[in-house]
Amino acid sequence: MASMVTCMASKKVTVTIPADLLEEIRTEADERGISAYVTEALRAKRDRDRLLELVEWLEEEHGPVTDAERSASYEALDELDAEHQRRQAGEAKHTNGAA
């Protein structure tokens, strides 16, 4: 997949992060850098917050999610997770076989 570079205004801030978490982030951030990693994490958190707000609005309008609906959702997510793992395993076999 092609990389797209986007220029946007940035502002430097100072944050305090627990040392153990910072070490994990440094390991996972690798060539992207900590700033890019933290930016991704903050965008994901913002998106989750917006989704939770949407859920609240929908529950106000349609009522809370039933246990049956929640169970069906979890089953669908489990199926997606299983498919994801199968695809990852297939890619790993393909990558190892090409080496």
Q: How far apart are CA 67 and CA 73, in angstroms?
A: 10
Retrieve residue 62's tokens: 């349609």
Retrieve residue 70's tokens: 């929640």
Which sign does the torsion angle of CA 12, 13, 16, 18 carry? Answer: negative
Q: How many domains does the chain have?
A: 2
pLDDT digit string, tens, across residues 60-97:
999 999 999 999 999 999 999 999 999 999 887 777 76
* For range 16-24, the mean pLDDT: 94
**81 plus 59 within the same structural domain:** no
Identify the pLDDT of residue 97: 65
* For range 46-57, the mean pLDDT: 97
**Structural domain boundaries enclosing 90:** 66-99
**35 plus 50 within the same structural domain:** yes
**54 plus 35 within the same structural domain:** yes
Q: How many beta carbons lie within 10 A of that of residue 39, not counting itself?
A: 14
Q: Is residue 73 part of a domain?
A: yes
**What is the secondary structure of 26-37 as a DSSP string?**
HHHHGGG-HHHH
Q: Residue 1: pLDDT band by 50, 70, 90 thresholds?
A: very low
**31 plus 45 within the same structural domain:** yes
Q: Is residue 19 part of a domain?
A: no
Identify the pLDDT of residue 31: 85
**52 plus 75 within the same structural domain:** no
